[in-house]
Structure 1
């Protein structure tokens, strides 16, 4: 597939986002169908070149999500992942066939370790599989990407044979991933130079990097691979992904932008939308961004040291190598309160990057007014937490109606809880070793389940004793793990909402309920 020719003196680098595929494979990060569509739309809007929408053979749900994303995305190429098997490739071809630009991304392991223990195939058998499956993919689409899984631990001579075979069979993009995050920048750069110099038909394909962060080198390795001749970077929003994650899209894009003197490459990412993308992905995956995360972390543009503050007051460039506005960060304001109307609230949401329909706006506005009655100052972060929770939990079939907790030094603590379960209100009372335990026991009485609590985490959205608490809860059942989030000025209410958010997702994931069915108590 021909690529856009840039007139800039800098080389154009394609951004391949795999948040919806590799990112979603992160334990507990599973997204709903609606959430995937929302993320895909935002990725298209921020300028991502290729959106890897999922793994169609994995489930009917994944197939449906990839198919719908393929239909809806207006600008970007939509890719699906397929193993080196005809059934995978055919399923992928069916899923992406309606895309404006479609790609099949097929892969097979090439390292001695993987071929021996994972595939139990000989090197010659793997070469035959590469030729057959890439050819099969080309029968579906013109744009085929082939990946050498565990490429950085593959013998160089054999890797070159594999790449040559894939290109000869019709692959238009060759990805050499650092699947286990083992490489260091110098050797990864040298690897691409070696392959591109030794493979006779290398000029017929775009080379791609895909780096995992097991040693914290994913971004550095990705940029090194580009210096070695790759012109596609595979990455995820917030760097989410399996194990320690993937290379972070926002870090890669801003590194090329800020250090164009030594990285003469460019992308078409709309950088002022990076923070919004980060917050959306954090909300739908329930994976909070660490405060000191580069580019999009809460503290990325915060300065507490007196020396730093003095320098910032004199010239922001003393301690900031990019402006907050360049990545979509705006200063927190205190203009919203209980006297604010719908028009002002809608305008504030637009400033924060949210576009809600009438019903969702009304629900969010009512919750905002309730919050404003309970909290002296309503910060932008409060509104973001409120709306993000509304978006993530809008499809929940079990919701908190009322909660009363009795706690103190004289136990046991008790909770009286009323839930809306599929439109029916049910109430119970339970005790526990602490108020949170009592609440969770009450939920268990109303909605019996076998899920195990893996994570309970609380943090304040803003400063002050009246700050909203944002609670994350991770539940696991039958080997499946999901995370829910809840926000409220009352930490115990937030805890109940977070637990129910996670439980709703887990029950949907296990097929115990459909959106139009009542969840049994």
Structure 2
């Protein structure tokens, strides 16, 4: 306080004070006497509900605010909330403390990130205040100074670098402004509010449409090109039909990432149906059946030395698609006992130092590794021959 800093005090567990109201009053009084100008009243365990009546923390908050105002009339105290979401009520409790209590500060996190079930979602509070505050007081509605046009960008940043966001997360989730092509499409294109409670462009989010059974080639082409890959007009209808057949059980549509996975399946140059290998003394023999670039049928390769089946397969790949090296390789057991499956992950690096991750599963660890290698090769090949834009340095993986 003497240094000119704002001091905030939080009586932890405020919402469950029960019969300790007077003690909490003494604690808050001491904090204010010591110079605190922000009193934050947290629902630490996320257990508060308006059905508690007089025991509801907002009711206690109103009583404490009245006591402090009476005892310290010259002090400007900001009352604050910090709610957890264990019952899914963090946003409601925070807003109740504002609309029906003295709180003028809400503590929370973008995307509701926080301990256990999370904290109050700040972006949800911001948008609710923006769209509903005037119903309480049309002449003097509550407001925030948040630049809401940046909410989507910030939410995406947290989603990418901190904690993944659920697709159906309100306001900023991937599906929050996504519609199934068909009945809603024309209405939404004419007026975003036809099937949206607010225009998603307010938060920096674009309206999109799920690719589904009623989608056409132009829809597939637009998504593919948004991700920086080639989809010519002459092939868009064929690609769209491939995607519909590939996801034939998905009648409700697929996500953009799933569409990209299907696109890679369409473009991939290698599709092996049978794997067979053997090793006798210092000779490894490999036999594959399927499509291997421009060859259809059986592929055989023999190698001398201590090389594994994976190394032998790498020799076959290098003949058709040189310039790739194994950057990392790992395998793990899925399940236990004799029915356990091996899951292998291989990351390849090309001459431009770009990374491509492949995965494979099989009860045979050698075959799972070979599947992972070819998966990574397919991704590297598609990226090299069908990408129209340069990508970032993260391993390529659309699943």
TM-score by length of 1: 0.41
User: Could you say which residue in structure 2 is the equivalent of 1:54?
Assistant: none
Q: Quote the offset at 1:178 in angstroms.
A: 0.5
User: Could you say which residue in structure 2 is the equivalent of 1:283?
Assistant: 160
Pair 1:225 & 2:97 matched: yes
Aligned residue among 150, 155, 159 for 1:273? 150
Pair 1:145 & 2:50 matched: no
In the alignment, the residues of structure 1 paired with residue 223 and residue 195 of structure 2 have an alpha-carbon distance, to the nearest angstrom, of 31
User: Could you say which residue in structure 2 is the equivalent of 1:245?
Assistant: 118
CA contact under 8 A between 1:210 and 1:222: conserved in structure 2? yes
Runs of 5+ in structure 1 lacking a partner?
Answer: 1-137, 339-347, 349-367, 386-403, 419-423, 444-465, 468-484, 492-521
Pair 1:256 & 2:119 matched: no
Query: What SS is found at the alignment partner of 2:80?
Result: strand
In the alignment, the residues of structure 2 paired with residue 438 and residue 317 of structure 1 have an alpha-carbon distance, to the nearest angstrom, of 46
User: Could you say which residue in structure 1 is the equivalent of 2:21?
Assistant: 156
Q: Quote the offset at 1:282 in angstroms.
A: 0.5
Pair 1:439 & 2:304 matched: no
In the alignment, the residues of structure 1 paired with residue 309 and residue 341 of structure 2 have an alpha-carbon distance, to the nearest angstrom, of 9
User: Could you say which residue in structure 1 is the equivalent of 2:65?
Assistant: 196
1:487–1:252 CA distance, 2 compared to 1 (3 A): farther
In the alignment, the residues of structure 2 paired with residue 430 and residue 297 of structure 1 have an alpha-carbon distance, to the nearest angstrom, of 33
User: Could you say which residue in structure 1 is the equivalent of 2:36?
Assistant: 171
1:310–1:156 CA distance, 2 compared to 1 (3 A): farther
Aligned residue among 82, 100, 117 for 1:210? 82
Matches within 5 A, 1:285-304: 285=162, 287-304=163-180
User: Could you say which residue in structure 2 is the equivalent of 1:500?
Assistant: none
Q: Which moved more, 1:144-153 or 1:258-267?
A: 258-267
Name which one, 1 or 2, has greater alpha-carbon Rg.
Answer: 2
Q: Quote the offset at 1:162 in angstroms.
A: 1.1
Q: Quote the offset at 1:312 in angstroms.
A: 4.3
In the alignment, the residues of structure 2 paired with residue 164 and residue 429 of structure 1 have an alpha-carbon distance, to the nearest angstrom, of 59
CA contact under 8 A between 1:416 and 1:428: conserved in structure 2? no
Q: Report which structure shows greater RCO (CA 8 Å, sep ≥6).
A: 1
1:223–1:410 CA distance, 2 compared to 1 (3 A): farther
Superposed CA RMSD in Å reads 4.6
1:229–1:372 CA distance, 2 compared to 1 (3 A): same
Paired residues, number: 257
Q: Quote the offset at 1:337 in angstroms.
A: 7.3
Matches within 5 A, 1:446-465: none
In the alignment, the residues of structure 2 paired with residue 177 and residue 251 of structure 1 have an alpha-carbon distance, to the nearest angstrom, of 18
In the alignment, the residues of structure 1 paired with residue 201 and residue 132 of structure 2 have an alpha-carbon distance, to the nearest angstrom, of 18
Aligned residue among 320, 323, 345 for 2:196? 320
1:416–1:167 CA distance, 2 compared to 1 (3 A): farther
CA contact under 8 A between 2:82 and 2:108: conserved in structure 1? yes
In the alignment, the residues of structure 1 paired with residue 223 and residue 96 of structure 2 have an alpha-carbon distance, to the nearest angstrom, of 46
In the alignment, the residues of structure 2 paired with residue 215 and residue 408 of structure 1 have an alpha-carbon distance, to the nearest angstrom, of 51
Q: Quote the offset at 1:488 in angstroms.
A: 1.8
In the alignment, the residues of structure 1 paired with residue 149 and residue 327 of structure 2 have an alpha-carbon distance, to the nearest angstrom, of 46
Pair 1:488 & 2:393 matched: no
1:183–1:236 CA distance, 2 compared to 1 (3 A): same
TM-score by length of 2: 0.53
Query: What SS is found at the alignment partner of 1:439?
Result: strand
Q: Quote the offset at 1:317 in angstroms.
A: 3.1
Q: Which moved more, 1:193-202 or 1:236-245?
A: 193-202
